[in-house]
Structure formats: C-alpha cells, structure tokens
Structure 1
Amino acid sequence: MSQLGKFITIILATSTLALTGCASKNKKSQVMVAPLGVGHGGNMGGYYGGPLVNNSDAIRNAARNIQGVVYFDFDSDAIKPEAARILDQQAQFLNSNQGARVQVAGHTDERGTREYNMSLGERRAAAVRSYLAGKGVNTANIEIISFGEEQPAATGSNEAAWSKNRRAELSY
C-alpha cells in the first residue's frame, strides 16, 4: 500500500472513531421531555406515558395540603423568595415521608422556540430539584419532566397569562 493509501486509511479510521464516539455513555440527566403533539384534555402537548411517581393514597392525601406550584420570572430558572417558602414546606414533607416520590414539571410561557422552552422548562424543574436536595431531600425521590409551553395554565398573549405559565408544578 502506498503512503497516500495508508494516510487515507488512517484519516478515515480516525474520523469514524471521532464521529461514533463511545457506545456506553452515562446518562447525565434524568429528565423526561413531553413529546410533541401528544394530546392532553384537548390541549396539545400532554404526557400519556403513565405516572412518573407512584405513592400511596396516604401520601397523596397528605400532600394535598401543601402548595405545589412555584413561579419564575421571565427567562429565568432562579428560585424566588416566595417559591423558596413553598419549597421549604415541600422539603419538610418529603423529609418526613422518606418513601414519598415527587414529580416536578417545568413549564414556560409561549414566547421563545419550542426547543428553547423545553430546555427552560427542564432548567426550572432541575432548579426545584436542586433546591430540595439542598434541604436534604433524596434526589432519587424526585423525577423531573419538561412540558415547555405545551400545557399553559392560562391563555392569552399578555403578562397576566404569561406569569401564570412560568412555573414548576410538584405532584405526588
């Protein structure tokens, strides 16, 4: 084989390795993203894959007494002081009920691309998970999902509607 042939073979082999990478990569995020176009109560964007968390009736009933929605500023995943008060109650409940599992669903308003909003919803849910973990909650008991803009709490193209849609919902 000529020098040029060897050189081309080496370049092709190196390119193939670089493009395919390692087949056994570790998961970096345990987030579920709501699929595009799945219906939910007449709205587009719901998730029908089954519950992400499975708790006893006693846990679900006890959790009903805790506020389960926190709100975010525009284009932000920062936990606001009023959200921190709600999450402190959630953390206390979860630490008192070690077997309880919670789903945190991140949502956004309609502004931005679908891809950006799915990412922002994930960041919001992850921020809630991180906050709870900082309060001693076992992250193995927290599942996150992003719905982006797909499940608005309010409709309309104004700040009143948008502010209700920029949220994370905790459910048991």
Structure 2
Amino acid sequence: MLRSTLSAFAITLALAGAAHANSCSDAIKALQATYAAGSTDEIMSALAAVRQGGLCTESAEVQAMRQVSGVLAARAGRFMAQDKLAEAEALLELAPALHWAVQAVRADIAAKRGNREEAAALYNAALDTITDPALTPPNPALIPHAERLAQLAQENMMLAGTLDSTITRGGDPSGVLKSAVRGIAIESVGEDYADGGDVYEDDKKEVYDEVKKDDYDGGGYAEAPKDGYADAPKDDYKEEKKDDYAGGNDYVEPPKKAKDPYAGGKKDDYAVADEVAKKTKTVFLPIRFAFDSDKLDPKGVYEAQSVGAFLIANGIKHITLVGHTDEKGAAEYNLDLSFRRAAAVRDYLIQYGVKTYIQIDGKGEYQPPKLVDPYIYSNEERRAIARRVELVLQG
C-alpha cells in the first residue's frame, strides 16, 4: 500500500513537472515516469505537455508518440491475454503514432476472432513497419519480434487462403514476400549497399541519449514464443524423384536481377530487415487444390496468378516449389501427391508466362510446418497450414 501511494505521488509530481517543464528533456522524463504505473489518462496528459509549448523538436515529439504507442500496445496485449478484447481495442485506438506493436496486437485480436484475412494483412503490415528504419529505429532486440511476425503472417495467409496481403495484383511485394526478395538481394549484392543518407535527424539525440529510448521502443511486447513443433521425422525420401521434375521448363534469363525493396540508406539501418530476410526466403503459398487431387481449384488459380505476376515483376531468376501434405492418408501416396501438386503449380506458372527457372520437390507429410504456437489452432487449422506449396526464392 505504501509503495502504491509513493508511486502515485511520484506520478503526480511528474505530471506537475510536465505541465510546467522548462525544457524538452524535463517533459520527456515526466512522460516516461508515467509508463510503469500511470493511468492511461495520465500518460496521455503527459504526452500532451510534451507536444505543447514548442519545447521539443518535431523529431523528439514523434519519438515520444512512438514510445507512448508502444506502451499502450503492451497494455493492450495484457488485456488480450485475459480475453478482454474490447478493452484492448479501446487502448489501441488511443495510440498516437504508427507502431509495429500496435499493428501486431490488432493482428492478434483479429486472429483470436478468426478473422484470418485481416490478421494476415495486419501481421504483414507490422512486419513492414518494424523493418523500415524510417518508422522504427533499428534495434537488434526487435529481430525475434520481426521473425515472429513473418511466421504468423504466413500461417494466417494459409488459413485465409489468399496472398493478397503480401502481393498486389501487379506483383509488388510487401510484408513476408518483401522480406523474401530482400533475402535474395542480400546474396546477390553481398556487402554493396546503395548510397544514401542517414534517415534520422541529428537533433533526435538531444533527449533520447539520456532517457533510454530502447527501453520502450518495443512497447514491452511479449517475447516470441518458442516453436511448439518437435523436429520433423527424417525424410527418407529426400532424393527420391527429385531429378524427375527438376528444370521443368525452358529457362530464359530475365533481363534484370531481383529488385531490392530496401535499397538506399546505410547498412546498419537495415539490421532488423536483413536478419528477417535471411530466414524468410521460403514462403508458404495458400494455393488450393480439389480434394485429393493435383488440380488447382478456382481460388488456387487466382493465387497462382498472383505468384506469376510477382515472379515476373521482380525479375526472380530461380525458384523451387516444394509440395507438402498433412498426415492423413498413406505416407507413400502423400509423397507422390506433394510432387504432383508442386508440378501443377509449376505448369500453371509456365502457362502464365513465367520465364523463371523452376525446380520442384515434394516432402509429403514428413516436414510439418514449425508453427509459432500450434496450440492456438484447431487440428483442422494445423492440417490446413500443413497442406501447402512452399516458394523457395533462389535468385
């Protein structure tokens, strides 16, 4: 009780200080004093003091708004963990700035409600935000969160049955596929980075060197949970039939190398983007087939068209399509079906006009997806994610 009283007293003093602050540094420190135990109203009041009176530069105000947004996202995440979704949403509505954690919690809420298409769009948007140094200051501590967002985006795209949240109809990538393209661009250019200036203004340092901005930039968002799947059984069929299908179309060299969607800026600006990109060259494709068949259904055709537009627009030279099935049925049959489904996607892409060199492989039921948290899905949802064709970008 005494500690609570002292904490409330400290916040009262901080708010009084914020209201009569003589410097931006004082106003920022008063704001941060509310983060741990202040009410939402107290936080917003202290933020208003930072933004009023012309004490702070525009850059410092933006940083303060980002911090507050991160704090609100952390609190909303705790409400969501208690299934208080309405309370979580009310807090997120108050977020004064674009913040990856706000988008991530919104995505978690959408997924909790079964709105998979909305969840996929929000996870992909959060991934774009966390990897963009103009929106989120680079911080290696954010890498696990970005990797989690990339995986959840793929899982929810599979359940939504569409790639619309990561590819435009013109083939431009965002979210997961943007990271995947970055991955092959890193390999092709090595250490060569496009010239560009620092995206951060020098005056940002005047306040945040003292107040430990990294403590709140992540908003206290929960650490990414460990993979819930055990290692998949060893694939006894690793080499079987692979050569039968390799190089299944006439290869024509694309005129340009893969575009780098993160070109420009200094290498250190893209520390988060680069680490995620290195692990995201394989993307789950929600291309669907008729039951127990290798024939694309109408929705599968639509998604395959999106993949084709992406490959053409981005000058992708070489890919592998890997078919997977769920565990239902005989293992030998599932292995053959996975090859046939990968071949069906390859054949459609060739028909669509893709000149990329395409190899195929099939794993049957032997490599189930490693989910962020398998326990948030029903058995049928886990199987739906397992029934996938993976796109492996290789240049």
Conservation of the 8 A alpha-carbon contact between 1:67 and 1:86? no
Shift of 1:56: 6.0
Shift of 1:71: 3.1
Output the CA distance in 1 between the equivalents of 2:328 and 2:348: 26
Residue equivalent to 1:102: 319
Q: What's the % identity of the aligned pairs? A: 35
Residue equivalent to 2:380: 159
Output the CA distance in 2 between the equivalents of 1:44 and 1:56: 34
Output the CA distance in 1 between the equivalents of 2:312 and 2:380: 36
Say whether 1:147 aligns with 2:363. yes
**In structure 2, do the counterparts of structure 1 residues 97 and 56 end up closer, same or farther at CA, with 3 Å as the change threshold?**
closer
Please point out which of 99, 119, 127 is paired with 2:344: 127
SS in 2 for 1:44: coil
Question: Which residue type is aligned with residue 42 of structure 1?
Answer: D
Question: Which residue type is aligned with residue 171 of structure 1?
Answer: V
Q: Deviations over 1:98-125 (max 9, x none)?
A: 4521111101111222211110000000
Output the CA distance in 1 between the equivalents of 2:294 and 2:328: 15
Shift of 1:150: 0.8
Ranges in structure 2 where 5+ consecutive residues have no aligned partner: 1-229, 240-245, 247-256, 262-276
Conservation of the 8 A alpha-carbon contact between 2:284 and 2:388? no
SS in 2 for 1:58: coil
SS in 1 for 2:368: coil
Output the CA distance in 1 between the equivalents of 2:318 and 2:295: 23
Question: Which residue type is aligned with residue 260 of structure 2?
Answer: A
Shift of 1:143: 0.9
The size of the alignment, in residue pairs, is: 126
Shift of 1:160: 3.1
SS in 2 for 1:116: helix
Output the CA distance in 2 between the equivalents of 1:83 and 1:45: 30
Residue equivalent to 2:391: 170
SS in 2 for 1:105: strand
Output the CA distance in 1 between the equivalents of 2:309 and 2:354: 9
Q: 1:8-87, aligned counterparts within 5 Å? A: 42-45=231-234, 58=260, 68-87=285-304
Structure with more contact order per residue of length (Cα contacts < 8 Å, sep ≥ 6): 1
Ranges in structure 1 where 5+ consecutive residues have no aligned partner: 1-40
Output the CA distance in 2 between the equivalents of 1:120 and 1:99: 26
The CA RMSD over aligned residues, in Å, is 3.9
Please identify, of 147-156 and 113-122, the stretch whose mean Cα deviation from structure 2 is larger.
147-156
TM-score normalised by length of structure 1: 0.57
Shift of 1:74: 3.4
Output the CA distance in 2 between the equivalents of 1:45 and 1:123: 21
**In structure 2, do the counterparts of structure 1 residues 168 and 99 end up closer, same or farther at CA, with 3 Å as the change threshold?**
closer
Shift of 1:80: 2.1
Conservation of the 8 A alpha-carbon contact between 1:118 and 1:146? yes
Shift of 1:170: 1.3
Output the CA distance in 1 between the equivalents of 2:290 and 2:387: 7
Please point out which of 287, 297, 305 is paired with 1:88: 305
Output the CA distance in 1 between the equivalents of 2:290 and 2:380: 11
Shift of 1:44: 1.8
Shift of 1:136: 0.9
SS in 2 for 1:131: helix
SS in 1 for 2:260: helix
Larger proportion of helix: 2
**In structure 2, do the counterparts of structure 1 residues 48 and 166 end up closer, same or farther at CA, with 3 Å as the change threshold?**
closer
Please point out which of 333, 347, 371 is paired with 1:116: 333
Structure number with bigger Rg: 2
Please identify, of 97-106 and 142-151, the stretch whose mean Cα deviation from structure 2 is larger.
97-106
Conservation of the 8 A alpha-carbon contact between 2:259 and 2:315? no
SS in 1 for 2:310: helix
